[in-house]
Amino acid sequence: MKTIKTLLTEAKDLLLYNRLLVVLGGYCDTFPATGVDRLFDAATEKGKKIIPKDKQALLILQEVLWTRKQAPSVEYDVPDDWATIVGELLNLRFSDLPATSKPVIKKGRKLESVFWSAGGVISDKVRSLIDFEGTGKSGFWCDVEGKKVEILDKTIN
């Protein structure tokens, strides 16, 4: 029997996956033949396993997929601007995120931005959090050399 915490986590992942499909699908419908079609096809083919398991990665995707003024909901609300959301999803770097959701580590007295490593590729873009190849391998936070690091937890309990 699954615990309530496990069920809630799976529900959050599913909500995020559904929102990803709505955003990519809406963008493809509005702006056809842009290459985002391949990402939408990969997302529908691979299923929910493309969503990362890391809590901070999920918060970052939630921040990007819902516009800053909208709160995540079960409803399939249509955003005002598909291009803004997809543009941020594909091009936004971790260092450009708001301070509350920026993944950082503490090095001495300074905070340093981190990278995401998945499948041997190190990246600092939000797009890298989503496993569009559908390998099922979860990524991890790392420094610039690829060494696994533990990021600061900024969530409020």
- Amino acid identity at 49: K
Domain residue ranges of the chain, discontinuous segments joined by +? 4-142
With beta carbons less than 8 A apart as the criterion, state whether 17 and 129 touch. no
pLDDT digits (tens, 9 = 90+) for 80-123: 577 888 888 899 998 888 888 888 888 888 888 899 988 888 89
CA 82 to the chain's CA centroid? 16
Closest-CA residue to 142 (of 121, 127, 156, 111): 121
More confident residue, 153 or 52: 52
Cα 128 from Cα 137, distance rounded (Å): 13
Mean pLDDT over each residue of the chain, to the nearest integer: 80
